[in-house]
Amino acid sequence: MWVTMQRRSIPLTRSQLFPLALAALGAMPSDAYGALTTPSILAPASTPAHQIYTLSQFVVLITGAIFVVVGGLLAFVIVRFRARKTDADHEPAQIYGSAQVELAWTVIPVLIVVVLFLTTARIIFAIQDAPKPQTAVDVTVVGHQFWWEFRYPKLGITTANELHIPVNSPSAARPTYLQLLSADVDHSFWVPQLGGKTDLIPNHPNQMWIDAEKPGLYLGQCAQFCGVEHAKMLLRVYADPPDQFAAWVKAQQRPAVQPDAQNAAAVAGRHVFETEACANCHTISGTTAKGTFGPDLTHLMSRATIASGIAPNTPGNLRSWIQDPNTLKPGALMPAMQLSDQETNQVVAYLATLQ
């Protein structure tokens, strides 16, 4: 039975000091969706993220106390024992050690390290050993250079770059469990507001889970250098209310919309897509396009962005991307398609029908 972990209230000085300071400095701007445009661990919105945030506060308090004590003692010594004009002809008293002092500065650091180690281990095991409920949503995440593939095995859905999950609540617990795989090199799945970093390593499956506590868009990033375009391998996680998530699932399970016969440009664009190299890399259900090297485009227009979050999903950006991906994402592995302007416009018209 799944039990949502309850968090104790934390005083303002601990739980809100850093976010308030950053907000005052304008360091945590939000976009139109209410998501932090700079991913931050300072605004946790899931159980694992809250636990990591609480741990980080504890570590900062301990290390801050050490800084204050050491800095205070250093300042005291500098002021109290500074050189004076009357000391020019005198040598300071020589002290050759103190067993009590040396014991103290050995035992105390060891105790601090042990406490930090045990606290960190407790949080790690609390997150990793949380029981998986029957209502959990399973998603297989595959990292590619330089985009994300999301498969929902129980729902029969494959999409890319924009992950949809249901909002979790104590009355309707539905966390999302992610199996993390890599198709090529090391990647790292990191959405700071939802959880910690977890690597995607070739031939070594990893797992993690998230349970967004409120609807919204949460931004993330591949946190492991994976090649030229590592910095532009972005993540967008949409936490949908149950009814919206159900509607999204239903829409994604439908086959691709076939272009209306009256839309000549879209019909021609489908022909170009299926007869050129596009079909070798991309999948569109209900067509001959069955490629797996690039993102599944069956419901391309249901996504807000293209190129792993680099640009809004607009006809103009689609056209630029098809003509030469390097204009938007230098170093991307998708080649320029060398299509004529007419063919490019036709393919864009076809892709615009893929709702």
Tens of each residue's pLDDT in the chain, 355 residues: 343 333 333 333 333 333 333 333 333 444 444 444 577 888 899 999 999 999 999 999 999 999 999 999 999 989 988 877 777 777 777 777 788 888 988 999 999 999 999 999 999 999 999 999 999 999 999 999 999 999 999 999 999 999 999 998 878 789 999 999 999 999 999 999 999 999 999 999 999 999 999 999 999 999 999 999 899 999 999 999 999 999 999 999 998 888 887 889 999 999 999 998 888 899 999 888 898 899 999 999 999 999 999 999 999 999 999 999 998 999 889 988 889 999 999 999 999 999 8
CA-CA distance, 180 to 198, in Å (whole number)? 8
Domain residue ranges of the chain, discontinuous segments joined by +: 137-253, 264-351
Is 137-253's fold the same as 264-351's? yes
pLDDT value of residue 37:
55
As its CATH architecture, domain 264-351 has Sandwich (2.60)
Q: What is the pLDDT of residue 20?
A: 35
The count of residues in the chain is: 355
Residue 41: predicted pLDDT:
86
* Domain 137-253: which CATH number of 3.90.1640.20, 3.90.1170.50, 1.20.140.10, 2.60.40.420: 2.60.40.420
Whole-model pTM over 0.95: no
Please tell me the predicted confidence (pLDDT) of residue 337: 86
Q: What is the 3-state secondary structure (H, E, C) of the chain?
A: CCCCCCCCCCCHHHHCHHHHHHHHCCCCCECCCCCECCCCCCCCCCHHHHHHHHHHHHHHHHHHHHHHHHHHHHHHHHHHCCCCHHHCCCCCCCCCCCHHHHHHHHHHHHHHHHHHHHHHHHHHHHHHCCCCCCCCEEEEEEEECCEEEEEECCCCEEEECEEEEECCECCECCCEEEEEEECCCCEEEECCCCCCCEEEECCECEEEEECCCCCEEEEEEECCCCCCCHHHCEEEEEEECHHHHHHHHHHHHCCCCCCCCCCHHHHHHHHHHHHCCHHHHCECCCCCCECCCCCCCCCHHHCCEECCCCEECCHHHHHHHHHCHHHCCCCCCCCCCCCCHHHHHHHHHHHCCCC
Amino acid (1-letter code) at residue 74:
L
